[in-house]
Amino acid sequence: MGGQTRQASAVRRLWALAKRQHRVVAHAQLRELGFSRHWIYHRVAAGRLHPIGRGVYAVGRPAPTREGHWVAAVLRCGRGAVLSHDSAAVLWGIRRREMRGIEISVTSQSGRHPGDITIHRRSGFRPEDFTTHRNIPVTSPVCTLVDIATRFQGDPLEAAVNEADRLGLVGPEELQAALDCLPGRRGVPRLRKLLDRRTFTATDTWLERRFVPIVRAAGLPKPLTQEHVNGFRVDFWWPDLGLVVETDGLRYHRTPAEQARDRVRDQTHTAAGLTCLRFTRAQVRFEPGYVEGTLAAVATRLCAET
C-alpha cells in the first residue's frame, strides 16, 4: 500500500514537472523522481512517454509544441544550458523566426553537443546574462540583443531593439547603460553605433523605421516619437517647428472609420496652429526623394516663420 502511495505521489510530481516544462521531461529527471529504468521503458513501450531526442521525452502526446522543443533542446545540452541567439529572440518576441534552427548557449565546461542543435560555447557568463521566460531557461533580453547584433545590422537590428522597447523588456537608454558592462562582447560595437543618441529614434513600426533616415537626409533634427499632442498620440513631433508627421500603414489606416479619425486628428492639429503632414507607406518606401523634398521645404518655411 505504501509503495502505491509513493508511486501515485511521484506520478503527480511528474505531471506537475511536465506542465512547467511544456510537456517535456528528461530521463535524469524521471530517475530523480524515483522512477526505475524499467518503469520508464514500459511507459515508452505503452506510448505514454515519447522519445524526442537522447534522454528526453514528451509526456502524453508525441508532438511537443515549439516551446516543448526548446525545453527539450535545453535539457539535452545539460546543466547550465540556455536558449540563446535567434531562438531566444523568438521566445522573447523580438524576432519572428529562427534562422539556424534551435540555438543553445552552454558554458565552456559543458560536454554535450547534440548534432541537430546549434551550440554556442562561451565563458564569462554572468548571472544577469540568463533568466527564465515562460519557464524556459534563456539569455536575458540584453544578452539576446548583443548576440543577434553579431549577425544583423541596419533595419533588422533596429527592429529588434524597438520591439524589445515596445514589449517593455529593455529600453534604449537601459540597453545603452548595460553595454558599458560588456566592453569585450561581440555585438556591442554594432549596438552602440545604433544607439547613438544623435541618430537613434525609438519607433513602433517598420514604416516608421524607414521614415527616420529620410528625416535625417532632409536635414531635420531628431524628432520626438509616440508623443501625445492635442490629445492624440503622434508618430513624429517637432515642437520647435510646430510640425507633426504621421506615417500611414495599410494595416492600421484602411477602414472608412479609421480614415475619418485621421481627418479629425489632422483638423485638430491645424486648428491648434500646427502643421500636419501625412505620408503613405508607398510614398515612404518607393518615393523617399519626394518625401525628403517635402519635409525639407516645409521645415524651411516653418523656420522662416519662427
User: Quick one: average pLDDT of 139-156?
Assistant: 91
Distance CA 2, CA 24 (A): 28
pLDDT-derived band at 108 (thresholds 50, 70, 90) equals: low
Choose the weakest-confidence range: 4-13, 116-125, 134-143, 209-218. Answer: 4-13
If phi over 0 gives left and psi between -120 and 50 gives alpha, with beta otherwise, what is residue 134? left
pLDDT surpassing 50 at residue 14:
yes
Other CB atoms closer than 10 Å to residue 240's CB: what's the count? 9
pLDDT-derived band at 252 (thresholds 50, 70, 90) equals: very low
Q: What is the pLDDT of residue 148?
A: 95
Distance CA 299, CA 218 (A): 9
pLDDT surpassing 80 at residue 197:
no
pLDDT surpassing 50 at residue 253:
no
Q: What is the pLDDT of residue 255?
A: 63
Q: What is the pLDDT of residue 104?
A: 95
Distance CA 247, CA 205 (A): 10
User: Using alpha carbons only, how large is the chain's radius of gyration in Å?
Assistant: 26
pTM above 0.85, yes or no: no
* Grid cell for residue 186: 561581440
Query: What are the start and end residues of each CATH 3.40.960.10 domain in the chain?
Result: 206-305
Q: What is the pLDDT of residue 251?
A: 43
Distance CA 302, CA 285 (A): 25
Distance CA 139, CA 130 (A): 4
Supply the mean pLDDT for the chain. Answer: 87
What pLDDT digit, counting tens, does each position of 152-188 carry?
A: 877 788 888 888 988 889 988 899 889 988 878 889 9
* Superfamily designation of domain 206-305: VSR Endonuclease (3.40.960.10)
pLDDT surpassing 80 at residue 4:
no
Distance CA 274, CA 98 (A): 44
* Grid cell for residue 117: 542543435
Q: What is the pLDDT of residue 109?
A: 61
Choose the weakest-confidence range: 16-20, 166-170, 188-192, 207-211. Answer: 207-211
Q: What is the pLDDT of residue 123?
A: 79
Q: What is the pLDDT of residue 196?
A: 80
pLDDT surpassing 70 at residue 63:
yes
